[in-house]
Structure formats: structure tokens, C-alpha cells
Amino acid sequence: MTDFDTICNEVQKKKRTYRPMSPEIVLTSSFYFDDFNEYAEATSNEFEHYVYTRGTNPTTELLEEKLAKMEEGERCKVFASGMGAISATFFTMLKANDHVIFVNTVYGTTVSLIRYMERYQISYDIVNSTDTDVILSYIKDETHIIYMESPSSQKFELIDLEAIAKVAKQKDIITVIDNTWATPIYQRPLVHGIDIVIHSCSKYIGGHSDIVAGAVISSKQTVELIEEKGFLYLGATCSPLNSYLALRGLRTMPVRMRQFTKNICTVLDYLSTDKRIKKIHHPYCGNAWQKQLAEKYLDGYGSLFGIDMVDDDLEKLKVFVNALQVFTLGVSWGGFESLVLPVFKGNNQQAIIDRGLDVTHLRIYVGLENPQELIEDIKAALTIAYGK
């Protein structure tokens, strides 16, 4: 008689000899052991052995190895989201009475996290300046982290990483940067003295708008500490399937990034001539100081930027957004599709001003469509909303 219970439930221990060209998706929560000695050795350090996917998984490990090499770091840890990576870093590195400096217009949820951590006696300052002397003037005796984006969210301004890193090291301050916009292909902050690099892998690394993941890259010692504390305790484990999809994204990432640079420069060349746009926020259109920093730190341009309208009529802004046909209204970015996202949500004008933004500010992402088609879409929507 066929024993269906045994057939359906037995652990598959057959040794495999095939060699797939594409990495395997190891969809398992746990791993088995041949004997007690192997089990004891593995469980002595589950970040160096396969024990439980919450710690280490072969698919995720391959992604970590590639990201560490790309950033020229010693080690990488992948998380379930970019905020998982940021939260684990703060949780690990900060203690009561520490002070954090946020440089540039940092991602809003990151700022919300540190505001929440005030209940644990963590203080912070937000510095909306690219001037190195101004940034460094906020350092206190209790400053433990300088957290930055360069280019920044919304304004996409660059800062002098080496100058900040040099002073931070002298004062034993940890420097952390969100490098999602530039990617390791266009900027490698660790080479310039920054201690920790963070990525939202949901963006250019994944590249297809179908995953949520994050990563931390640093020295072996630092990443091991984050693994043992923030990663393990917060449990923001990346799915092996998402790790596989990120690996798939890496295969085309260099060619995609080259195309993004071509597309964004073409679109910005047009927009810089349109008088209905008051300001363009992107290093390609920056002032002399920004262009100098771009020459020093960037090997290419990401395709996310911001614009402010000359006309501050918010009803016209809504008409413009609704008139776009190729650009899609939606959050996130980094995939194949072009996107638009106004900071105005209907009742948050004061919050926008408090962040140092214009109320008509729009975040725009140029995808992989024909750039001339994107230009025509913007021109038509501008004409509908603001006239010729």
C-alpha cells in the first residue's frame, strides 16, 4: 500500500549535481544537518552557516556578496526593506543621549523614525545646507552619527563626502549615507571615507518595480554587529525570492543605468528651457559648486529629479498631474516606468514649507521610455495646465 504520509512529508536529502546558470531560489525557512557535530558547529554562528533563513540564506548571501563588491565594502547585509536596513543601523549604533545630524532633505520616513526615537533620549538636528562648514557646525560632544543623502531626496543636492568624513573620523562619529539615487555604479561613498552605505534595493537594484528590499554595506566588523543586534532582533529578513529578483535586476543594471543617464539628460535639456518651470532640482542642472561635486563624486546621473512651478496655483498643479499620459502617478521609483509624485497632498502646505520645499514641488522619475515621448507628454500637460 502506498504510504502517502511518508511520500508527501519526507525531507529531500538527495545530493544534487546539476549546475543551473541562474542562481537557485532557496525557499526554505530552515536547513537540516547530517549529524550532531555539524549541527553544533553551524549553530555556533548562524551568520556563517546555513541554519535558519532569518540569519543566512544561499540566495540572499549571493546578493550580499555582489553588493559588497559593487560598493567596495567588506560585507553586506540584505533586509526586507530599505527602512529595515535604516532601522537596524540606528537600533544597533545608537544609545540613550546620543545625537544624530541629518544632512540634506533626508527621506521623510527616516526622519519620522528618529523623531520616534526621541522617547529613548536620542536627539537630532536637521541641516538643510550643502555648505560643509555649516554642516560641521552642528556637531556636539554627544554627536554619534552623521546621516546623509547625497544627492538628497526632493532637492537632489550633493555634499562634500570626503570633507565630512575626515572630520567625523577625527571625532569618532559614524557616517552613514543612503546611496540609493546614485547606486554603486555611479557613486561609491566607502571609497571616500564614509563608514556605512544603505540602499533601498526596491529601486534601481531591483529595477522592475516588483520587490521591496534594503541593504547595509560596510566593514566586516560593522556589518557583523548590525547582524547580531539590529538585524536579528528586528527580524527584517529579506525573502529569498526577493533576493533572487534583485540578482536578476543586477544583470541588467549597468546597461539600464547608462540608458537612464542618457534619458535624464535629454529630458532636462528641454525642461531647462521651459519658462513655466521655476527650478529644476538635479545635479545636472546644479550651480558651479554642485557641478564641481558631481565631477568629483558621480560617474553618471540617476533619473530622479524635482521641479518647482512658476505658477503657485495648486489647482493648476493638479491639472498638470492629471493631464500626464505617459508618466504615471505613483510612489517609489527605479523601475522601467516613468513616474510623477507631487509633495502636495491636499492639506499639507505647512509641512511642505517646513521641509524647505516649494508647495508646487513635484518629484519626477524618468524611466526607460523614449525620452522624446516623455518630453512631449510634459509639454502637453504643461500647456493644458498653464497655457503656452
pLDDT of residue 4: 62
- Do the strands 362-365 and 339-342 form a parallel or antiparallel pair, or are they unpaired? antiparallel
Look-up: residue for cell 521641479?
A: 307
Give CA–CA dist 303/250, Å, rounded: 17
Give CA–CA dist 211/239, Å, rounded: 10
pLDDT of residue 347: 86
pTM: 0.93
Gyration radius of the chain over CA positions:
23
pLDDT of residue 205: 97
CB 177 within 8 A of CB 215: no
| Packed helices 58-71 and 240-271: angle between N→C axes, nearest 10 degrees | 40
Adjacent-strand bridge partners of 102: 126, 147
pLDDT of residue 96: 97
Q: For the chain, give every residue range classified as CATH 3.90.1150.10.
A: 252-384
> Which residues does the chain have with pLDDT short of 70?
4, 7-8
Q: For the chain, give every residue range classified as CATH 3.40.640.10.
A: 2-246
Span between the terminal Cα atoms of the chain, in Å: 82
- Do the strands 339-342 and 328-329 form a parallel or antiparallel pair, or are they unpaired? parallel
- CATH code for the structural domain at 2-246: 3.40.640.10
CB 312 within 8 A of CB 277: no
Tens of pLDDT, residue by residue over 55-85, are 899 999 999 999 999 999 999 999 999 999 9
- Respond yes or no on whether the N-terminal peptide bond of residue 23 is cis (omega within 30° of 0): no
CB 250 within 8 A of CB 204: no
CATH topology of domain 252-384: Aspartate Aminotransferase, domain 1 (3.90.1150)
Residue type, position 380, single letter: A
Residue type, position 170, single letter: Q
Catalogue the long-range contacts made by 42-48 (C-beta closer than 8 Å, 24 or more residues apart). 47/224, 47/227, 47/228
